[in-house]
Chain A
Amino acid sequence: MEKSFELSGKIGIIVVKGSVDALTAPHLATFISEQIAAGHTRLVADLAGVDYTSSAGLRVLLGAVKETRALGGDLRLANIQPDVKKVLDLSGFTSILKHYADRDSAIGSYGG
């Protein structure tokens, strides 16, 4: 799994690639927490390069969502791939997270 961070205006973009599972998710959690600690609470996770998410991976993702929301922010998803979407649907994530077809609409959803 690879991860990187960039800013688009005031919105932080977390770009993730590869597999988010029990082995990689803890690194992602630390990475997201660092961004939150640096004051970035309005986040978009761009999942275009994510081909697999496991249950442990999803729990980490949710942990980050809760952290941002508790601070008045949010973590919204963009570019979910079909296989990952299937798992997110089954796990109830698509009903409690905001998700968008592409990065720009996810950024735009924060309304400037």
Chain B
Amino acid sequence: MAAPKKLALVIGSGSVKCAAALGIQRVLERADIKLDMLVGCSGGSLYAALLALGYPTEKIAEMSSSLWTHDLTARPNRRALLQAILPGIVKFDERFSLRDDRKVNQRLEEVYGQHSFEEAKIPLYITATDFMTGEMVVLEKGPLLPAVRASMAIPLIFPAVKSEGRMLVDGYLADPLPVGVAIREGADIILAIGFEATNQSRLSSLGRYAFQFTSVMSNNLLKANFAFHNLAHHSEVLLVVPEFEERVRLFDTEKIPYIIQVGEREMEKQLPYLQQLLAA
């Protein structure tokens, strides 16, 4: 009984680099291959959601360019500075952040405000992390805005999102590339696009040092999870790890066309094997 194979695309965390998923979608479209499931984490959730809603890749590229700009984090949260210096005097809590999130909320509202999971043309799963327990939370119902916002709530930068009594933060803390969700939801062939955090070349300040240590842990978590999922899955997991010759920084939205090209190039390499798998 050869049931049709279910194809999933899992987009891991990687900020603006996640736009490479649009390159994958372009290659799949040209080959007339349709996705049966989308999973997104952190920056990846922005693209997974728009792909699931059925927007064309050109439109998504445009929408995400205007969404993801430097002024999102440019506005410091003044109260936060006081909280950090005087935690006993100015009330400090788990939702603490260094940046004011009004702007990011407003931008996300413009793009996702009208949409819900139920409208998605392709089943969609977005991952966040329960900040109290460290466990993964899979969001799959209701309005998209709070889900996307929670999935990209980088701790200390943006405030956590309260949801059903939980405090949700960025999904990358639980799993930067949540292939496990696609396995559990019954995917056969899984395309997983992941990004390693870059190591800091010079650890010249406490901030850079802390950032480096976070990258080290995040990359090790990515590798360990992938090693497990690779053994645990009954079918094939195709890993796409785009290599960028040009340095892509957090808010390099002008590089989105280049990022998409790299995603396309990497997917082209995997396409013949994917087609064989789907035909088998």
A38 CB-CB contact with B under 8 Å: no
CA distance A84 to B184 in the complex (A): 19
Chain B residue with Cβ nearest A72:
B3
**Residues of chain A from 70 to 95 with CB closer than 8 A to chain B in the complex:** 70-72, 74, 92, 95
B228 CB-CB contact with A under 8 Å: yes
Q: Contact at A92–B234, with CB atoms within 8 Å?
A: no
User: When the two chains form the complex, which single residue of A41, A72, A97 contacts B184, counting CB atoms closer than 8 Å?
Assistant: A97
Q: Contact at A69–B232, with CB atoms within 8 Å?
A: no
B76 CB-CB contact with A under 8 Å: no
CA distance A57 to B112 in the complex (A): 45
User: When the two chains form the complex, which single residue of A62, A65, A95 contacts B180, counting CB atoms closer than 8 Å?
Assistant: A95
**How many residues of chain A get a CB closer than 8 Å to chain B's CBs?**
15
CA distance A34 to B184 in the complex (A): 24
A37 CB-CB contact with B under 8 Å: no
A66 CB-CB contact with B under 8 Å: yes
| B222-262 near A? 1/0 per residue, CB < 8 Å | 00000011001111000000000000000000000000000
Chain A residue with Cβ nearest B231:
A62
Contacts A72-B3, A95-B136: A67 and B234 contacting too (C-beta < 8 A)? yes
User: When the two chains form the complex, which single residue of A69, A97, A98 contacts B235, counting CB atoms closer than 8 Å?
Assistant: A69
CA distance A95 to B183 in the complex (A): 9
User: When the two chains form the complex, which single residue of A70, A71, A96 contacts B232, counting CB atoms closer than 8 Å?
Assistant: A96
**Residues of chain B from 1 to 48 with CB closer than 8 A to chain A in the complex:** 1, 3
| Least distance between B254 CB and chain A CB atoms (Å) | 38
| Least distance between B59 CB and chain A CB atoms (Å) | 34
| Least distance between A63 CB and chain B CB atoms (Å) | 9
What are 12 inter-chain pairs, A to B, with CB distance below 8 A? A41-B1, A62-B232, A69-B234, A69-B235, A70-B188, A70-B234, A92-B180, A92-B232, A95-B136, A95-B184, A96-B184, A96-B233
The 6 A-B pairs at the shortest CB distance, nearest first, are namely: A72-B3, A66-B234, A69-B234, A95-B180, A96-B183, A70-B234
